[in-house]
Structures are given as structure tokens and as C-alpha cells.
Amino acid sequence: MDITRSGLEPVFCTIVPPHLLDRLSQAENPAVAEPARRTLVQDEANRTRRLTAAAGTTRPTIAGEAAEKPDRTIHDAQNGTELPGTKVRSEGEEPGQDATVNRAYAGLGATFELFLKGFKRNSIDGNGLPLIASVHYDEKYGNAFWDGNQMVFGDGDGEIFLDFTIPVDVMAHELTHGVTQYTANLAYSGQSGALNESVSDVFGSLVKQYTLGQTAEQADWLIGAGLLHENVQGVALRSMKAPGTAYDDDVLGKDPQPGHMDDYVDTEQDNGGVHINSGIPNHAFYLLATRLGGNAWERAGQIWYDVLTGGELATDCTFADFAKATAEKTAERYGQGDEHEAVLKAWSQVGVPTA
């Protein structure tokens, strides 16, 4: 049974972490530094506004009332910050001339399809919640975010970041924050916050793999491939296969993600390093998925989905709590066979206990 939490935590989640934007804001090149500063200021304003708003303001739905098909609406913010902006495409309408609008529409649809066909979940809330997105947000805005109600995509600065609708996993990542909001509602700080980010990376990657028809072995396990400008020394924002290797650039810096608890980063930045330490559970999922083989959404993804929607996670759960829950859910669904052994081994390899 799907669990929908009451008293939803106000959420503002971005794909690019503040520590990365802070580094860019100090770059010598003003074409990099100025957009990064603007993005940081706008993100902080949005975060403050969201935290002071009433929680759970998303449109309520009644179980069974909605058909199992997406209800997408794309708006154009026209490089302003008023949301949602001007409606430019509704569900069922043909593609227009704006490639960004078309990509956003397709990305929302791809995410909806995986959750429906892979996990029998009807949209973000499980009850057919309309999917709303705004594109062309602000000027050279270097981020994408879920604000608790809708998706928002920037165009990037053209120097470091390109259009944020280019990678489908970025769109799916942010929408999955909405799924987490309606299920486990993981608190956005420390290890629970890193799990919140990791779950979004997991399902973001699964949407990408599902869309491309890739097995676990064929997937690149990169988050945000195609987002970085060709002049940047890097391939993506994060790597689930090899945390800490996504980029190593003079301007962007070096990817700080650890892949093992021995390298866990204690920091006050980024809500306790939620975008950094997410590399540990990310790598555990990668190890599980590749050990099991085949389509990662079918077994590995099902285990993670069972945990996320099971209603048993504390909002402030730790990596060990989550790992233990995955072992228990695996045993419930698959017994004590290969899947269970693979789960235990994956968490052991990243230094997280399951008992």
C-alpha cells in the first residue's frame, strides 16, 4: 500500500549544490562569477520563501479520481522569477518551436511513465497529481529545482552549465524529490538529507536508463551528463559508479563526493553535505544494480521504492537505518536469495551496516 504523509515538510531542492555555486561565484571570469552569484541569491530567496510558506500546498487529490496518464503543463518564465509564468504547452498539445519546452514536456512524461509502469505509482503523489514546470527561469540561472509544488529550469550561464532540460535525469531527479515529499518525507539535512538527494539520483538514473532501454551494465550511471559545457573538464555533476570522479576542473573544482563511510564529509555547508555524502548510498545502489544485472528498475529499483513508500522510515533516518530497511524489504519481496545477499554486500562495500 502506498503511504502519503500528512504534514508535508516544506521543500526546496536544487540539482546544483550551493557549495559548487559558491566556488563559481569566486571565479575570475565575470561571465562565470556573476551568473553564479545571481543564482545563489535567487536560490536563497526561494528557499526562505518556501520555508515560510505553508507545508503541503500542492493540489490535493482523491485516491482513484485520476486516470493513469500524465497531466503536464509547461510555462515560460521569460527570464523572470515570477512563477509559474506564461502557459506555453498543455497535455496532449503538439511540440512547438521551443526545444526547451519540448524537452521539459518529454522529461515530465518519461518520469511519469517509469513510476507508473515500473512501480504502479500514478504521478508524484500516487493519485495523478498534475505535473507543472517552468522553463527559462531568471537570467542565466544555473540551476533546476523542485519547490514543493512544481519544477523550475534555468537556461544555464553558457560557460559552465548548459540548459537544465538537456539531461532527462536532472528532470527526473527533481521530480523524485516530490515523490519523497509525499512518502518518506526525509528531512533535508545530514544523512537523511543525503538519502533524500541519493533517492533522487537513483530514480533520476533509472528514468534515464528506462528511456534509453539500457541495462545496469550498459548505463553510464552519471547524473547530469550533457549539462556541462564542453570546455569544462568533467562529464557530469555526479557519478554513482565512481563518486568523486564526475569533474576535476580549474574553475569548477574537484568532485568532492565520497563513495565509502571512511571518507564521510562532516560539514555545515549544504545542509550538512547532502549533495556530497549522497555519493555513499548512490554507490551502494550502483553496486547492487550491477550485481543483480538486467534492468536496474526491476529489482534494485523495486527494493528502493518499497523502502521509500513503506511508511516505516523515520524522517531523520540514517544511512544505517535505510540500509537495514532495504535488507528487510528485500527479504519480504524476494526471500533470502541472491537479491538479499547482493543488498548486504553492496552496503558492506560502502561501509554501512545493515544489522
pLDDT the model gives residue 232 = 97
On the question of pLDDT at 60 being above 80, the answer is no
pLDDT the model gives residue 346 = 98
Give the count of beta carbons closer than 10 Å to the beta carbon of residue 220. 17
Catalytic member of 136, 159, 173, 174: 174
Instruction: Give 146's contacts (C-beta < 8 A, 6+ positions apart).
Output: 11, 12, 13, 152, 174, 175, 177, 178
What cell does 302 get?
523495486
pLDDT the model gives residue 95 = 97
pLDDT the model gives residue 3 = 34
pLDDT the model gives residue 11 = 65
Name the helix (H) or strand (E) containing 90: strand 86-90
Backbone torsions φ then ψ of 326, nearest 5 degrees: -65, -40
> Residue 259 — pLDDT band, cuts 50, 70, 90?
very high
pLDDT digits (tens, 9 = 90+) for 271-297: 999 999 999 999 999 999 999 999 999
Mean pLDDT of 39-60: 67
On the question of pLDDT at 2 being above 80, the answer is no
CA distance 240 to 282: 5
Sheet containing 86-90: order of strands = 13-14, 144-146, 151-153, 131-135, 72-76, 86-90
pLDDT the model gives residue 99 = 98
Q: Is the Cβ–Cβ distance between 349 and 280 less than 8 Å?
A: no
On the question of pLDDT at 130 being above 50, the answer is yes
What cell does 59 get?
493540489
pLDDT digits (tens, 9 = 90+) for 305-319: 999 999 999 999 999
pLDDT the model gives residue 58 = 40
Question: Has 19 been annotated as catalytic?
Answer: no
Identify residue 8 by its one-letter amino acid code.
Answer: L
pLDDT digits (tens, 9 = 90+) for 94-109: 999 999 999 999 999 9
On the question of pLDDT at 10 being above 80, the answer is no
Q: Which domains does the chain have, with CATH numbers?
A: 13-182 (3.10.170.10), 190-349 (1.10.390.10)
> Residue 244 — pLDDT band, cuts 50, 70, 90?
very high
Q: 3-class DSSP state for residue 111?
A: helix
pLDDT digits (tens, 9 = 90+) for 228-239: 999 999 999 999
Angle at Cα 106 formed by Cα 100 and Cα 111, nearest 5°? 125
CA distance 314 to 192: 9
pLDDT digits (tens, 9 = 90+) for 74-92: 999 999 999 999 999 999 9
pLDDT above 90 coverage of the chain, percent: 89
On the question of pLDDT at 191 being above 50, the answer is yes
Mean pLDDT of 319-341: 97
pLDDT digits (tens, 9 = 90+) for 135-165: 999 999 999 999 989 999 999 999 999 999 9
Catalytic member of 75, 136, 275, 283: 275
> Residue 355 — pLDDT band, cuts 50, 70, 90?
confident
Radius of gyration of the chain (CA): 19
Q: What is the mean pLDDT of the chain?
A: 92
Question: Has 275 been annotated as catalytic?
Answer: yes
- How many residues in the chain? 355
